[in-house]
Chains A and B, each alone.
Chain A
């Protein structure tokens, strides 16, 4: 069964450093998403991406964040200058078509900012 994959599984970085989190969505899916979950809290929406552009973003997704689909398979989230409060699990998700609404999530990348 096709799955969303994410790398790395755990990333440790120092405050102020740039990080790139990588995702390979399910093949043939058209809509891509990033969410985050701070330990013990809700899963929170960050951004959605369709047809090579951002279709929706939350207030969390400020100028420090960017997304890119550099080729036909990868989808990345970049945080330019990490803060302590960026420490969280980051989940990538994908959705197949405009008709089906369910989003399929990857296993997550645990980001620890020290």
Chain B
């Protein structure tokens, strides 16, 4: 059974204070690992797909990396508008479903 564990559960940072969110996963044959952003009461918003260990993707202040056991979402010099819950999900080969973690609730304080 695919499993995703995210840490920390919640993170409060000062504006401009860089940090990283962790996503550990177990899946029998990784097809892809996905990062989403979710604002309160809204649907997940797609950020990145990572397919193989060593791959990196960047978008504005966010960079996602992947190893064989975990992924990191690095946030550089965050702004208050980056406050959201960040979700990690995995998809195994032959599956359609995404298996999500519980997310990290990020708060950026001005």
Shortest C-beta distance, A18 to chain B (Å), equals 24
List chain A positions with a Cβ less than 8 A from chain B: 4, 31, 33, 35, 41-45, 48, 50, 55-56, 58, 89, 91, 93, 101-108, 110
**Is B97 a contact partner of A48 (Cβ separation < 8 A)?**
yes
**Is B46 a contact partner of A45 (Cβ separation < 8 A)?**
no
**Chain A residue at smallest Cβ distance from B36:** A105
Chain B hits for A31, CB < 8 A? 96
Complex CA distance for A93 and B36, rounded to whole angstroms: 13
Complex CA distance for A19 and B31, rounded to whole angstroms: 34
Interface presence of B72 (CB below 8 A) = no
B96's partner among A48, A107, A108 (CB-CB below 8 A) is A48
Complex CA distance for A35 and B100, rounded to whole angstroms: 11
Complex CA distance for A108 and B43, rounded to whole angstroms: 6
B43's partner among A41, A58, A107 (CB-CB below 8 A) is A107
Q: Knowing A31-B96, A103-B46 are in contact, say whether A41-B102 is a contact too (CB < 8 A).
A: yes
Q: List 16 other contacts, CB 8 Å, given A35-B98, A101-B31, A105-B44.
A: A33-B96, A42-B100, A42-B103, A43-B87, A43-B98, A45-B97, A45-B98, A56-B95, A89-B41, A91-B43, A93-B43, A102-B49, A103-B34, A106-B43, A107-B43, A108-B42
